[in-house]
Chains A and B, each alone.
Chain A
Amino acid sequence: MQNSLKDIPQIVGDVYRKESRPVFAALIRLLGDLDLAEDAMHDAFKVALEQWGEKGVPSNPRAWLVSTGRFKAIDRIRRESKFDPLQIQHIEQIEAKTADPSGQVDKKIEDDVLRLIFTCCHPALSLDARTALTLREVCDLTTEAVASAFLVTPSTMAQRIVRAKTKIREEKIPFEVPPEHELPDRIAAVLQVVYLVFNEGYYASSGESATRIDLSSEAIRLGYLLHALLPDPEVAGLLSLMLLHESRRPARTSSSGDLILLDDQDRSLWDRNMIAEGLSLVEQAFFSKRAGAYTFQAAIAALHAEAKHPDATDWKQIAGLYSLLLRIHPSPVIELNRAVAIAMHKGPEAGLQQIDAILGRGELNNYHLAHAARAELCRKIGRIDDARASWQRALSLAQQAPERRFIKRKLSELNA
């Protein structure tokens, strides 16, 4: 099929958006190197711009691009090999490994993207490095965009990415989907990155500017991609958790930028489509019998999402889910959350008893939310002096301006 020459940049641009990651990932498998693959991919798209107008768009652009990229890489190594004789060996290896790439492109390509994710999120890399590399190589964000999202300078981010790639090369971190016995730990390392990206976007609402990319949407996009590639209940659980949180975004902040707590949110602003999708995902994950921490958290978020108004919340189930979560993930913060759920379900005294037990162990003494929760429960049962002392303790520990404003308001209400 002939295309008019002026349509070609548009067509190649569309193909780039859809195919650049699969093509890039396939080239990494064939060439064994991230940088070489990136160059090869750019070369292949450049040839596409030059040739598709005259020769027509190939019937399978992805296969064409992979095969063209591979030839270009071999060319490139040949040319550059005069600076580095070791490269000749490299060409021979590549040619042997990829005798006929065109036939196997589509079959393996899904796995290639998954391989790329596992490489970028390899536990040998620091969490910072994993996050940076995933956003740049898997999400195709520029170094500058990732830097601005994490509020660091582009040069800091660029070095982080260079070091991560060097580490992959030097430690020979393999480009592969891990074997079965390693899979749960390796999936956990990937999900940790995705959740960090999500939370960075969800909670770091300060310092937001028009140029700042939306990290929460990127995390959700990654979640969908992983969910399509990897049939694992925790992947579904995390995607569900992110969707259920994201569904509340329009109701989370007031026009003046203050945080609005769950109880006070206008629930008609919640995104119903996201909730429906989140609910269906968490159900699948929950009944898979291999539900993990993300799934339990998603199930808790689901119970909140299902309540038409705060009083209709099923606190009994929520407390039960926190108990399940505690069993696989013991943590005083989760215990605190359970205490709040118990207070809602069985009354403030029962919850207060739990919180005092946690504080009594000295574990959350410096955690402002523990004191805030205690203050609220004390107020409910009329222990006003105790409530005031706890709010004051919370205020001395809180760092963020909106939280401090919130606590001060609570203190003044107490005095009124």
Chain B
Amino acid sequence: MKLTYLIYNAFGVGGTVRTVFNQANTMVERGHDVEIATMLRYHEEPPFPLDDRVRVTALVDNRSGSYVDWDRYEGEEDTSWHDRFPAGVSENADKRRRINAMIRFLRGLEGRIVVGTRPTINLVIAEFADEALVRVVQEHAGLSTHKGEWREAIDAAYQGMDAIVCLTEEDRAAYAEAFPGVRVERIPNALHSLDVPRTDFSRHQVVSAGRLDGNKGFDMLIEAFGQVVEAHPDWTLRIHGGGPDENKLRKLILAKHLYNHVFLTGSTNRLDDELAKGSVFAMSSKSEGFGMVLLEAMNCGLPVVSFNCPVGPRELVTDGQDGLLVPERDVDALAAGIIRLIEDEELRRDLSQAALKKAAEYGPDPVTDTWEHLYEALTAAK
């Protein structure tokens, strides 16, 4: 089969990029023709490993410092589509250039399965990709996160798609109810490999990872770790990732005098190695679309403790069996959960073993099988 994934920025560090790359790598490994079309390209190298056989097409390439469209188009700007989408889609010249490049790209596709990975892209696919193509929505967000004119646009556009694929069962149920005429599936993100470094529990280190923004709740994790340090001053916390809240979090670390215990290490392209250095993984997100990094930590054999977000962690973790779930946004409970794991080595090891079993369910093979079966069925139904 021939697959084209459309993604916003294949050269930025993020969960969607990582999971799409994982899918692309496993599909190309199985002999399929795989292409990733990215709306932006600023860097030479992508942030995660990508099989050489996966073609990368930059719809707008800015590596040289000036914009170059994928087809080197330099003609008149097409403005005819502006009123078909929410106003934000055409609000500035950069966005309009990218959308125009994508429209021309989609019009040229033949005999391919087109997969959109964010709402703007899905709206453009619904409007401009040939209906004879298999058109699939990969939804990384819950239906309730789409508001106002976006929700209206999505309600109209997704009706015409061949399938909507969600990450969690809760999302699947919500989309199935909203789009009764469309095939809606739940296919979780796959781990890129089950062959990753495993923790040996030798370090007194708690780890976490994610974009440093308000949603990840790292301010709450740092607060909680202040309590952990009072009980266990020989333990440290490493948070891997970058983002807009870095300075705010650094100020919090200084104010709490946690500079000997809490380290914001920045982004890493060796996340598995860094996770495996920890002995406990903590997740403090206010919400998660899926909770990929939680799964990656479990894959490294880490016992995890997480806020019980509305979706995501609660589908990955069975409290007390393969990890700990604590009430969302409850700093004291998060601290107590971390301390419990620190103090109970037997529990750490039991949860670790169970976490490895859970992670295996999300290995590349079972998840890729599911994708293949879906794409085959959708192609046959055309």
Do A and B come together as binding partners? no
B contact set with A: CB distance below 8 Å: none
Q: Give chain A's interface residues, CB within 8 Å of chain B.
A: none
